[in-house]
Amino acid sequence: MVRLDIYLVEQGLCRSRERAKAHILAGEVLVNGAKITKPAYPVSDTDTVELSESSSNFFSRGELKLQRAIDEFGLDFSGKLMLDVGASTGGFTFCALQHGARFIWAVDVGTNQLDARLTHDSRVCSLEKTDIRTLDISALGTQVDIVTADLSFISLTQVAQPMVKFLKPEGFMVLLIKPQFEAGMENIGKNGVVKDKEVHELVIEKVANCFAQHNLYLNSITFAPLKGKGYNIEYLALFSRSPKVLPHIKSVVSNAFELNKSI
């Protein structure tokens, strides 16, 4: 027996375990005709494992997340310049291109992660081994219309100032707020999951207050596509230089927790 995510890679159905996990969590993998959403699900050579038809247009979980932000916030990427911070395999980048982005700088501290389809795309400039905190605007040669960020193991408050300088005055940011990387260690439970609603609310407020200090304001917020019990709930937040009435954070968090129970 072998884990489902490993099996998908070994059989050539996915290029990496990260991609395999994304397909599994999105419900794109069938085992003996049944949808399986656990990467560690055990399978053998006697099982029939396949990707569903809908997976052919699926890029990564990041794509699903940014798509939700576009749908929820009514965002327009057509003809826009974008900086994708924490690009990883390129889910946000791919989604933005699908929605008409003109050019994207994909920044990540890692290397050899960006999907080959994007590294060979003339609309994408891959900046590997690059920390946004040390990246100079001269590397881009211009400010951008949109900044997106999906970061791990670092708080968004640590990169607020570096990111803001890249944004045009009329631009906007879409940030993925991850409570597990924003809350203190005392608030993180088993398996790195933050289970307290109040902590989620405080985390969002902390990030919003930090960016407000740099004249970038939280305009709207929603929860990212849910993963189910045992996973952290994450939030997609829209920021711009236009101050607006602060969204009802408490109700967004409450709704996310309620829906997550049913998955």
pLDDT digits (tens, 9 = 90+) for 127-151: 999 999 999 999 999 999 999 999 9
For domain 61-261, give its CATH number from 3.40.50.300, 3.90.400.10, 3.40.50.150, 1.20.120.330.
Answer: 3.40.50.150
What's this model's pTM, rounded to 2 decimal places?
A: 0.79
Residue 108, C-beta contacts closer than 8 angstroms, at least 6 positions apart: 86, 87, 88, 114, 127, 128, 130
Per-position DSSP letters for 220-248, written without gaps between them: EEEEPPP--TTS---EEEEEESS--PPP-
Q: Rounded CA gap, 96 and 167, in Å?
A: 16
Structure tokens given for 59: 């890029």
pLDDT of residue 263: 58
User: Average pLDDT in the 170-184 region?
Assistant: 95
* CATH number listed for the domain at residues 2-57: 3.10.290.10
User: Average pLDDT in the 222-234 region?
Assistant: 79
Strand 103-107 vs strand 42-43: parallel, antiparallel, or unpaired? Answer: unpaired
Q: How many CB atoms lie within 10 A of CB 113?
A: 17
Q: pLDDT tens digits for 20-57? A: 887 888 788 999 989 999 999 999 988 899 887 555 55
Q: Are 39 and 61 in contact (CB under 8 A)?
A: no
Range(s) within the chain of domains with CATH label 3.40.50.150: 61-261
156 or 55: whose pLDDT is higher?
156
pLDDT of residue 54: 57
End-to-end CA distance of the chain: 26
| H or E stretch covering 42 | strand 42-43
Among the residue ranges 32-36, 165-169, 191-195, 205-209, the one predicted with the least confidence is 191-195
Q: Rounded CA gap, 151 and 130, in Å?
A: 13
